[in-house]
Structure 1
Amino acid sequence: MPTDNRRGVLLDVDGTLVDTTYLHTVSWWEALRQADHQVPMALIHRSIGMGSDKLLDHLLGPERDRDDDGRLRAAHDGFFGEYWERLTPLPGAADLLRACAARGLRVVLATSAAEREVAALRAALDADDAVDTVTSSADAQQSKPAPDILVAALEQSGLTAERVVFVGDSVWDVVAAGKLDIPCIGLTCGGTSRGELAGAGAVAVYDDPAALLEGLADSAIATVG
Protein backbone atom coordinates (compact mmCIF):
# COMPACT_ATOMS: atom_id res chain seq x y z
CA MET A 1 0.00 0.00 0.00
CA PRO A 2 1.20 3.56 -0.68
CA THR A 3 2.91 4.94 2.41
CA ASP A 4 3.15 8.66 1.55
CA ASN A 5 2.52 11.23 -1.15
CA ARG A 6 5.98 11.20 -2.68
CA ARG A 7 6.38 11.45 -6.41
CA GLY A 8 8.36 9.00 -8.47
CA VAL A 9 9.58 7.84 -11.83
CA LEU A 10 9.37 4.20 -12.92
CA LEU A 11 11.85 3.12 -15.56
CA ASP A 12 12.13 0.05 -17.72
CA VAL A 13 15.76 -1.10 -17.93
CA ASP A 14 16.34 -3.34 -20.97
CA GLY A 15 16.61 -1.09 -24.01
CA THR A 16 15.70 1.98 -21.96
CA LEU A 17 18.71 2.37 -19.66
CA VAL A 18 20.97 -0.48 -20.81
CA ASP A 19 21.69 -1.23 -24.48
CA THR A 20 20.29 -4.77 -24.65
CA THR A 21 17.42 -4.81 -27.13
CA TYR A 22 19.41 -6.17 -30.03
CA LEU A 23 21.33 -8.56 -27.78
CA HIS A 24 17.99 -10.06 -26.75
CA THR A 25 16.96 -10.16 -30.41
CA VAL A 26 20.05 -12.12 -31.42
CA SER A 27 19.74 -14.41 -28.38
CA TRP A 28 16.14 -15.28 -29.22
CA TRP A 29 17.06 -15.77 -32.89
CA GLU A 30 19.78 -18.24 -31.89
CA ALA A 31 17.48 -20.06 -29.46
CA LEU A 32 14.70 -20.36 -32.04
CA ARG A 33 17.10 -21.42 -34.78
CA GLN A 34 18.42 -24.22 -32.56
CA ALA A 35 14.87 -25.56 -32.39
CA ASP A 36 14.39 -25.25 -36.17
CA HIS A 37 12.16 -22.17 -35.95
CA GLN A 38 13.17 -19.76 -38.70
CA VAL A 39 11.96 -16.37 -37.47
CA PRO A 40 13.30 -13.15 -39.03
CA MET A 41 15.16 -10.89 -36.62
CA ALA A 42 12.92 -7.94 -37.50
CA LEU A 43 9.91 -9.80 -36.13
CA ILE A 44 11.79 -10.83 -33.00
CA HIS A 45 12.93 -7.25 -32.41
CA ARG A 46 9.35 -6.00 -32.50
CA SER A 47 8.47 -8.52 -29.79
CA ILE A 48 11.23 -7.54 -27.36
CA GLY A 49 9.68 -6.02 -24.26
CA MET A 50 7.10 -8.76 -23.91
CA GLY A 51 7.66 -11.54 -21.43
CA SER A 52 9.05 -14.74 -22.90
CA ASP A 53 5.68 -16.53 -22.79
CA LYS A 54 3.91 -13.81 -24.74
CA LEU A 55 6.86 -13.33 -27.05
CA LEU A 56 6.74 -16.99 -28.04
CA ASP A 57 2.97 -16.80 -28.53
CA HIS A 58 3.50 -13.75 -30.72
CA LEU A 59 6.24 -15.35 -32.83
CA LEU A 60 5.16 -18.99 -32.98
CA GLY A 61 1.41 -18.76 -32.41
CA PRO A 62 -0.68 -19.55 -29.33
CA GLU A 63 -1.66 -22.96 -30.72
CA ARG A 64 1.92 -24.22 -30.86
CA ASP A 65 3.24 -27.21 -28.91
CA ARG A 66 4.48 -25.57 -25.70
CA ASP A 67 6.60 -28.52 -24.59
CA ASP A 68 9.74 -26.82 -25.91
CA ASP A 69 9.09 -23.42 -24.32
CA GLY A 70 11.28 -24.12 -21.31
CA ARG A 71 14.18 -25.18 -23.52
CA LEU A 72 13.73 -22.10 -25.71
CA ARG A 73 13.80 -19.80 -22.69
CA ALA A 74 16.83 -21.56 -21.25
CA ALA A 75 18.64 -21.31 -24.58
CA HIS A 76 17.87 -17.59 -24.83
CA ASP A 77 19.08 -17.04 -21.28
CA GLY A 78 22.29 -18.91 -22.02
CA PHE A 79 23.04 -16.88 -25.14
CA PHE A 80 22.15 -13.59 -23.46
CA GLY A 81 24.20 -14.46 -20.39
CA GLU A 82 27.32 -14.46 -22.54
CA TYR A 83 26.92 -10.69 -22.90
CA TRP A 84 26.49 -9.86 -19.20
CA GLU A 85 30.06 -8.73 -18.56
CA ARG A 86 29.92 -6.48 -21.64
CA LEU A 87 26.56 -4.79 -21.02
CA THR A 88 26.72 -1.05 -21.61
CA PRO A 89 24.44 1.70 -20.28
CA LEU A 90 22.79 3.91 -22.84
CA PRO A 91 24.01 7.52 -23.04
CA GLY A 92 23.08 9.53 -19.96
CA ALA A 93 21.36 6.65 -18.17
CA ALA A 94 23.07 6.95 -14.78
CA ASP A 95 22.99 10.75 -14.90
CA LEU A 96 19.25 10.67 -15.60
CA LEU A 97 18.61 8.49 -12.55
CA ARG A 98 20.68 10.78 -10.34
CA ALA A 99 18.99 13.90 -11.70
CA CYS A 100 15.56 12.44 -10.95
CA ALA A 101 16.65 11.52 -7.42
CA ALA A 102 18.06 15.01 -6.91
CA ARG A 103 14.60 16.39 -7.74
CA GLY A 104 13.20 14.41 -4.83
CA LEU A 105 11.68 11.71 -6.99
CA ARG A 106 11.66 8.09 -5.91
CA VAL A 107 13.52 6.23 -8.67
CA VAL A 108 12.17 2.76 -9.39
CA LEU A 109 13.65 0.26 -11.84
CA ALA A 110 10.50 -1.53 -13.02
CA THR A 111 12.06 -4.49 -14.77
CA SER A 112 10.73 -8.00 -15.27
CA ALA A 113 14.19 -9.48 -15.82
CA ALA A 114 15.18 -12.47 -13.69
CA GLU A 115 17.06 -11.63 -10.49
CA ARG A 116 20.50 -12.72 -11.73
CA GLU A 117 20.00 -10.71 -14.90
CA VAL A 118 18.85 -7.71 -12.85
CA ALA A 119 22.15 -7.86 -10.96
CA ALA A 120 24.07 -7.68 -14.27
CA LEU A 121 21.94 -4.76 -15.46
CA ARG A 122 22.46 -2.86 -12.20
CA ALA A 123 26.20 -3.45 -12.41
CA ALA A 124 26.23 -2.02 -15.93
CA LEU A 125 24.26 1.05 -14.82
CA ASP A 126 26.41 1.66 -11.74
CA ALA A 127 23.82 4.04 -10.26
CA ASP A 128 22.47 2.19 -7.22
CA ASP A 129 23.01 5.34 -5.14
CA ALA A 130 20.09 6.94 -6.99
CA VAL A 131 17.74 3.93 -7.01
CA ASP A 132 15.02 3.44 -4.42
CA THR A 133 13.34 0.21 -5.55
CA VAL A 134 14.04 -2.57 -8.06
CA THR A 135 11.60 -5.25 -9.23
CA SER A 136 12.25 -8.54 -11.00
CA SER A 137 10.33 -11.26 -12.84
CA ALA A 138 9.43 -12.86 -9.50
CA ASP A 139 7.18 -9.87 -8.77
CA ALA A 140 4.81 -10.24 -11.72
CA GLN A 141 2.35 -13.01 -12.50
CA GLN A 142 1.88 -11.81 -16.09
CA SER A 143 4.43 -10.06 -18.27
CA LYS A 144 4.02 -6.96 -20.41
CA PRO A 145 1.89 -5.78 -22.05
CA ALA A 146 0.03 -6.72 -18.85
CA PRO A 147 0.75 -4.06 -16.19
CA ASP A 148 1.68 -6.48 -13.38
CA ILE A 149 5.30 -5.36 -13.06
CA LEU A 150 4.20 -1.72 -12.79
CA VAL A 151 1.68 -2.65 -10.11
CA ALA A 152 4.48 -4.40 -8.21
CA ALA A 153 6.75 -1.38 -8.64
CA LEU A 154 4.09 0.91 -7.18
CA GLU A 155 3.37 -1.38 -4.26
CA GLN A 156 7.02 -1.89 -3.37
CA SER A 157 7.93 1.79 -3.62
CA GLY A 158 4.89 3.16 -1.81
CA LEU A 159 3.89 5.25 -4.82
CA THR A 160 0.56 5.70 -6.56
CA ALA A 161 -0.22 5.69 -10.28
CA GLU A 162 -1.37 9.32 -10.03
CA ARG A 163 2.06 10.48 -8.87
CA VAL A 164 4.44 8.70 -11.23
CA VAL A 165 5.65 8.73 -14.82
CA PHE A 166 6.96 5.62 -16.59
CA VAL A 167 9.89 5.67 -19.03
CA GLY A 168 10.20 2.82 -21.53
CA ASP A 169 11.46 1.99 -25.00
CA SER A 170 8.85 -0.37 -26.46
CA VAL A 171 5.23 -0.23 -27.53
CA TRP A 172 4.57 -2.87 -24.84
CA ASP A 173 5.86 -0.46 -22.18
CA VAL A 174 3.47 2.23 -23.36
CA VAL A 175 0.54 -0.18 -23.47
CA ALA A 176 1.25 -1.53 -19.98
CA ALA A 177 1.44 1.98 -18.52
CA GLY A 178 -1.76 2.98 -20.28
CA LYS A 179 -3.66 0.22 -18.52
CA LEU A 180 -2.92 1.99 -15.22
CA ASP A 181 -3.38 5.51 -16.64
CA ILE A 182 0.31 6.21 -16.01
CA PRO A 183 1.87 8.68 -18.48
CA CYS A 184 4.65 6.99 -20.43
CA ILE A 185 7.66 8.71 -21.95
CA GLY A 186 9.09 6.73 -24.85
CA LEU A 187 12.76 6.44 -25.82
CA THR A 188 13.76 5.37 -29.32
CA CYS A 189 17.13 3.91 -28.21
CA GLY A 190 15.58 0.44 -28.08
CA GLY A 191 14.96 0.57 -31.81
CA THR A 192 11.24 1.41 -31.83
CA SER A 193 10.42 4.49 -33.87
CA ARG A 194 9.09 7.80 -32.60
CA GLY A 195 5.91 7.28 -34.59
CA GLU A 196 5.25 3.83 -33.14
CA LEU A 197 5.77 5.01 -29.56
CA ALA A 198 3.65 8.12 -30.02
CA GLY A 199 1.00 6.08 -31.82
CA ALA A 200 0.80 3.70 -28.87
CA GLY A 201 0.12 6.65 -26.55
CA ALA A 202 3.50 7.91 -25.29
CA VAL A 203 3.10 11.44 -23.93
CA ALA A 204 6.52 12.41 -25.31
CA VAL A 205 9.36 10.68 -27.16
CA TYR A 206 13.10 11.26 -26.80
CA ASP A 207 16.12 9.67 -28.47
CA ASP A 208 17.73 8.25 -25.32
CA PRO A 209 18.25 8.93 -21.59
CA ALA A 210 20.70 11.76 -22.39
CA ALA A 211 18.10 13.55 -24.49
CA LEU A 212 15.48 13.13 -21.77
CA LEU A 213 17.96 14.45 -19.21
CA GLU A 214 18.62 17.50 -21.37
CA GLY A 215 14.90 18.22 -21.57
CA LEU A 216 14.08 17.09 -18.04
CA ALA A 217 12.92 20.49 -16.79
CA ASP A 218 10.23 20.62 -19.50
CA SER A 219 9.26 16.94 -19.41
CA ALA A 220 6.35 15.13 -17.82
CA ILE A 221 8.76 14.04 -15.10
CA ALA A 222 9.16 17.62 -13.90
CA THR A 223 5.41 18.03 -13.44
CA VAL A 224 4.45 14.60 -12.14
CA GLY A 225 1.98 14.59 -9.25
Structure 2
Amino acid sequence: MIKGIIFDMDGTILNTIDDVVVSVNYAMRNFNLPEKTIQEVKDGIGRGAINLIEDVVPKETTQEDILKIYEVYQTYYDKHNNDLTAPYDGILELLSTLKEQGYKLAVVSNKYRYLVEALNHDIFKDYFDISMGEMEGIPIKPAPDMIYIALKEMNLSKDEVIFIGDSDVDMMTANHAQIKSIGVTWGYRSKEVLKKHQASYIVDQPIDILNIINEVNAHGND
Protein backbone atom coordinates (compact mmCIF):
# COMPACT_ATOMS: atom_id res chain seq x y z
CA MET A 1 0.00 0.00 0.00
CA ILE A 2 1.33 3.42 -0.97
CA LYS A 3 1.63 5.67 2.08
CA GLY A 4 4.29 8.11 0.89
CA ILE A 5 5.05 9.93 -2.34
CA ILE A 6 8.54 11.17 -3.20
CA PHE A 7 8.83 13.86 -5.87
CA ASP A 8 11.71 15.12 -7.95
CA MET A 9 11.75 18.93 -8.13
CA ASP A 10 12.95 20.44 -11.44
CA GLY A 11 10.67 19.46 -14.30
CA THR A 12 8.31 17.55 -12.02
CA ILE A 13 6.70 19.90 -9.52
CA LEU A 14 8.49 23.13 -10.47
CA ASN A 15 9.12 24.69 -13.86
CA THR A 16 12.58 26.02 -13.09
CA ILE A 17 13.94 26.22 -16.63
CA ASP A 18 13.74 30.00 -17.15
CA ASP A 19 15.74 30.83 -14.02
CA VAL A 20 18.29 28.12 -14.84
CA VAL A 21 18.71 29.36 -18.43
CA VAL A 22 19.13 32.98 -17.31
CA SER A 23 21.74 31.91 -14.75
CA VAL A 24 23.62 29.70 -17.21
CA ASN A 25 23.77 32.46 -19.80
CA TYR A 26 24.87 35.02 -17.21
CA ALA A 27 27.85 32.78 -16.48
CA MET A 28 28.51 32.12 -20.17
CA ARG A 29 28.58 35.85 -20.94
CA ASN A 30 31.01 36.43 -18.09
CA PHE A 31 33.49 34.13 -19.81
CA ASN A 32 32.76 35.29 -23.38
CA LEU A 33 31.19 31.95 -24.25
CA PRO A 34 28.17 31.49 -26.54
CA GLU A 35 24.81 31.56 -24.80
CA LYS A 36 22.75 28.38 -24.67
CA THR A 37 19.20 27.69 -25.84
CA ILE A 38 16.44 26.47 -23.56
CA GLN A 39 16.69 22.98 -25.07
CA GLU A 40 20.45 22.84 -24.59
CA VAL A 41 20.03 23.68 -20.92
CA LYS A 42 17.13 21.25 -20.52
CA ASP A 43 19.32 18.48 -21.89
CA GLY A 44 21.86 19.12 -19.13
CA ILE A 45 19.47 19.37 -16.18
CA GLY A 46 19.03 16.51 -13.76
CA ARG A 47 22.51 15.47 -12.64
CA GLY A 48 23.48 18.41 -10.47
CA ALA A 49 24.81 21.91 -11.18
CA ILE A 50 28.44 21.05 -11.90
CA ASN A 51 27.39 18.43 -14.45
CA LEU A 52 25.05 20.97 -16.06
CA ILE A 53 27.94 23.39 -16.55
CA GLU A 54 30.16 20.62 -17.93
CA ASP A 55 27.43 19.84 -20.47
CA VAL A 56 26.93 23.40 -21.74
CA VAL A 57 30.52 24.66 -22.03
CA PRO A 58 32.71 23.91 -25.06
CA LYS A 59 34.35 20.48 -24.97
CA GLU A 60 37.85 21.96 -24.81
CA THR A 61 37.10 23.85 -21.57
CA THR A 62 39.53 22.90 -18.81
CA GLN A 63 38.32 21.55 -15.48
CA GLU A 64 39.73 24.64 -13.79
CA ASP A 65 37.65 26.92 -16.03
CA ILE A 66 34.57 24.72 -15.60
CA LEU A 67 34.80 25.25 -11.85
CA LYS A 68 35.14 29.03 -12.30
CA ILE A 69 32.09 29.14 -14.61
CA TYR A 70 30.17 26.93 -12.20
CA GLU A 71 30.93 29.26 -9.29
CA VAL A 72 29.62 32.28 -11.22
CA TYR A 73 26.53 30.31 -12.25
CA GLN A 74 25.80 29.04 -8.75
CA THR A 75 26.31 32.42 -7.09
CA TYR A 76 23.91 34.05 -9.54
CA TYR A 77 21.36 31.22 -9.35
CA ASP A 78 21.38 31.30 -5.55
CA LYS A 79 20.09 34.88 -5.75
CA HIS A 80 17.69 34.39 -8.67
CA ASN A 81 16.32 30.85 -8.30
CA ASN A 82 12.76 32.03 -7.68
CA ASP A 83 12.43 34.95 -10.10
CA LEU A 84 10.56 33.08 -12.84
CA THR A 85 10.10 29.65 -11.26
CA ALA A 86 6.56 28.40 -10.60
CA PRO A 87 4.69 25.14 -9.97
CA TYR A 88 3.27 23.38 -13.00
CA ASP A 89 -0.49 23.71 -13.49
CA GLY A 90 -2.33 21.29 -11.22
CA ILE A 91 0.59 20.56 -8.89
CA LEU A 92 -0.60 22.63 -5.92
CA GLU A 93 -4.04 21.05 -6.18
CA LEU A 94 -2.49 17.58 -6.34
CA LEU A 95 -0.30 18.19 -3.30
CA SER A 96 -3.23 19.62 -1.35
CA THR A 97 -5.34 16.55 -2.11
CA LEU A 98 -2.55 14.10 -1.24
CA LYS A 99 -1.90 15.93 2.03
CA GLU A 100 -5.60 15.93 2.91
CA GLN A 101 -5.72 12.19 2.26
CA GLY A 102 -2.91 11.60 4.75
CA TYR A 103 0.03 10.75 2.50
CA LYS A 104 3.56 11.58 3.60
CA LEU A 105 5.23 13.80 1.00
CA ALA A 106 8.93 14.27 0.26
CA VAL A 107 11.16 15.91 -2.34
CA VAL A 108 14.42 14.31 -3.48
CA SER A 109 16.38 16.53 -5.87
CA ASN A 110 19.92 16.89 -7.20
CA LYS A 111 19.73 20.61 -6.37
CA TYR A 112 21.69 21.62 -3.30
CA ARG A 113 19.66 20.91 -0.20
CA TYR A 114 19.54 24.56 0.90
CA LEU A 115 17.88 25.47 -2.43
CA VAL A 116 15.38 22.62 -2.17
CA GLU A 117 14.44 23.69 1.34
CA ALA A 118 14.17 27.37 0.36
CA LEU A 119 11.98 26.71 -2.68
CA ASN A 120 9.78 24.32 -0.72
CA HIS A 121 9.32 26.91 2.01
CA ASP A 122 8.67 29.81 -0.36
CA ILE A 123 6.44 28.03 -2.88
CA PHE A 124 4.97 24.94 -1.25
CA LYS A 125 4.76 26.10 2.39
CA ASP A 126 3.97 23.06 4.54
CA TYR A 127 3.10 20.43 1.94
CA PHE A 128 6.37 18.48 2.18
CA ASP A 129 7.46 16.58 5.27
CA ILE A 130 11.00 16.03 3.97
CA SER A 131 13.28 18.00 1.62
CA MET A 132 16.33 16.16 0.31
CA GLY A 133 19.01 17.64 -1.93
CA GLU A 134 22.70 17.41 -2.67
CA MET A 135 24.83 17.50 0.46
CA GLU A 136 28.38 16.55 1.27
CA GLY A 137 29.06 12.85 1.58
CA ILE A 138 25.80 11.64 0.03
CA PRO A 139 25.83 10.46 -3.61
CA ILE A 140 23.29 12.23 -5.82
CA LYS A 141 20.73 10.56 -8.09
CA PRO A 142 20.74 8.12 -9.83
CA ALA A 143 22.36 6.63 -6.71
CA PRO A 144 19.53 5.56 -4.37
CA ASP A 145 21.09 6.96 -1.19
CA MET A 146 18.84 10.04 -0.86
CA ILE A 147 15.79 7.83 -1.40
CA TYR A 148 16.93 5.56 1.42
CA ILE A 149 17.40 8.56 3.73
CA ALA A 150 13.91 9.81 2.84
CA LEU A 151 12.44 6.37 3.53
CA LYS A 152 14.08 6.29 6.94
CA GLU A 153 12.82 9.78 7.82
CA MET A 154 9.33 8.90 6.57
CA ASN A 155 9.46 5.62 8.52
CA LEU A 156 8.23 3.74 5.44
CA SER A 157 9.40 0.68 3.52
CA LYS A 158 10.23 0.47 -0.18
CA ASP A 159 6.83 -0.98 -1.08
CA GLU A 160 5.04 1.86 0.71
CA VAL A 161 6.34 4.68 -1.50
CA ILE A 162 6.34 5.72 -5.14
CA PHE A 163 8.83 8.09 -6.78
CA ILE A 164 7.70 10.69 -9.30
CA GLY A 165 10.07 12.35 -11.74
CA ASP A 166 10.54 13.63 -15.28
CA SER A 167 13.89 12.19 -16.34
CA ASP A 168 16.01 9.17 -17.09
CA VAL A 169 17.96 9.94 -13.91
CA ASP A 170 14.76 9.75 -11.86
CA MET A 171 13.65 6.44 -13.35
CA MET A 172 17.14 5.00 -12.83
CA THR A 173 17.03 6.20 -9.22
CA ALA A 174 13.73 4.44 -8.60
CA ASN A 175 15.03 1.25 -10.19
CA HIS A 176 18.23 1.37 -8.13
CA ALA A 177 16.15 1.87 -4.97
CA GLN A 178 13.73 -0.89 -6.05
CA ILE A 179 10.63 1.28 -5.75
CA LYS A 180 7.79 2.00 -8.16
CA SER A 181 8.03 5.11 -10.33
CA ILE A 182 5.80 7.51 -12.23
CA GLY A 183 7.32 9.40 -15.14
CA VAL A 184 5.76 12.77 -16.00
CA THR A 185 5.75 14.07 -19.56
CA TRP A 186 5.51 17.81 -18.83
CA GLY A 187 9.13 18.09 -17.70
CA TYR A 188 12.56 18.09 -19.34
CA ARG A 189 12.64 14.62 -20.95
CA SER A 190 10.45 12.87 -23.52
CA LYS A 191 8.00 10.02 -23.01
CA GLU A 192 10.36 7.82 -25.02
CA VAL A 193 13.17 8.46 -22.53
CA LEU A 194 10.88 7.58 -19.63
CA LYS A 195 9.82 4.35 -21.34
CA LYS A 196 13.41 3.43 -22.17
CA HIS A 197 14.38 3.80 -18.51
CA GLN A 198 11.54 1.62 -17.29
CA ALA A 199 9.08 3.99 -15.65
CA SER A 200 6.44 1.91 -13.87
CA TYR A 201 3.78 4.35 -15.07
CA ILE A 202 3.76 7.44 -17.32
CA VAL A 203 1.35 10.36 -16.92
CA ASP A 204 0.52 13.46 -18.95
CA GLN A 205 -1.11 15.57 -16.22
CA PRO A 206 -0.87 15.82 -12.42
CA ILE A 207 -4.36 14.45 -11.72
CA ASP A 208 -3.25 11.17 -13.31
CA ILE A 209 -0.77 10.71 -10.44
CA LEU A 210 -3.63 10.60 -7.94
CA ASN A 211 -5.53 8.14 -10.13
CA ILE A 212 -2.53 5.79 -10.33
CA ILE A 213 -1.92 5.88 -6.57
CA ASN A 214 -5.59 5.13 -5.92
CA GLU A 215 -5.46 2.28 -8.42
CA VAL A 216 -2.30 0.79 -6.89
CA ASN A 217 -3.80 0.95 -3.41
CA ALA A 218 -7.07 -0.56 -4.60
CA HIS A 219 -5.36 -3.56 -6.21
CA GLY A 220 -2.36 -4.06 -3.95
CA ASN A 221 1.31 -3.48 -4.65
CA ASP A 222 1.93 -6.27 -7.15
TM over 0.5: yes
Gaps of 5+ in 1: none
SS in 1 for 2:202: strand
Question: 1:8 corresponds to which residue?
Answer: 4
Single out whichever of 39-48 and 199-208 deviates more from structure 2.
39-48
Question: 1:28 corresponds to which residue?
Answer: 24
Single out whichever of 210-219 and 57-66 deviates more from structure 2.
57-66
Aligned length: 220
Distance in 2, Cα, partners of 1:222 & 1:105? 18
Question: 1:125 corresponds to which residue?
Answer: 123
Distance in 1, Cα, partners of 2:151 & 2:98? 17
Question: 2:144 corresponds to which residue?
Answer: 147
CA-atom RMSD in angstroms:
3.2
Distance in 2, Cα, partners of 1:100 & 1:224? 18
Q: Structure 2: which amino acid aligns with 1:144?
A: K
- Is 2:176 the partner of 1:179? yes
Question: 2:69 corresponds to which residue?
Answer: 72
- % of aligned pairs identical? 24
Residues 39-75 of structure 1, C-alpha deviations (whole Å, 9 max, x = no match): 7533431221111233345556999632234332332
The offset of 1:214, in angstroms, is 5.7
Single out whichever of 75-84 and 30-39 deviates more from structure 2.
30-39
1:215/1:138 CA distance change after superposition, 3 Å: same
1:211/1:64 CA distance change after superposition, 3 Å: same
* Counterpart among 36, 46, 51 of residue 48 in structure 2: 51
Question: 1:162 corresponds to which residue?
Answer: 159
1:106/1:121 CA distance change after superposition, 3 Å: same
Spell out structure 1 runs of 4+ moving beyond 6 A.
Answer: none
Question: 1:100 corresponds to which residue?
Answer: 98
Distance in 2, Cα, partners of 1:8 & 1:185? 13
Q: Structure 2: which amino acid aligns with 1:16?
A: T
Residues 66-97 of structure 1, C-alpha deviations (whole Å, 9 max, x = no match): 22343323322244332414431111222222
Residues 199-221 of structure 1, C-alpha deviations (whole Å, 9 max, x = no match): 21111122243443465533689
Contact 1:10 1:108 in 2 (8 A): yes
Distance in 1, Cα, partners of 2:16 & 2:74? 13
SS in 1 for 2:182: strand
Residues 15-46 of structure 1, C-alpha deviations (whole Å, 9 max, x = no match): 21111134324433442453355475334312
Distance in 1, Cα, partners of 2:31 & 2:101? 49
Contact 2:2 2:159 in 1 (8 A): no
Distance in 1, Cα, partners of 2:220 & 2:21? 35
Distance in 2, Cα, partners of 1:121 & 1:7? 24
Distance in 1, Cα, partners of 2:51 & 2:134? 14
1:168/1:199 CA distance change after superposition, 3 Å: same
Single out whichever of 165-174 and 198-207 deviates more from structure 2.
198-207
Gaps of 5+ in 2: none
1:199/1:134 CA distance change after superposition, 3 Å: same
Q: TM-score normalized by structure 2?
A: 0.80
Q: Structure 2: which amino acid aligns with 1:112?
A: N
Contact 2:25 2:35 in 1 (8 A): yes
Q: Structure 2: which amino acid aligns with 1:9?
A: I
SS in 2 for 1:150: helix
Contact 2:168 2:189 in 1 (8 A): yes
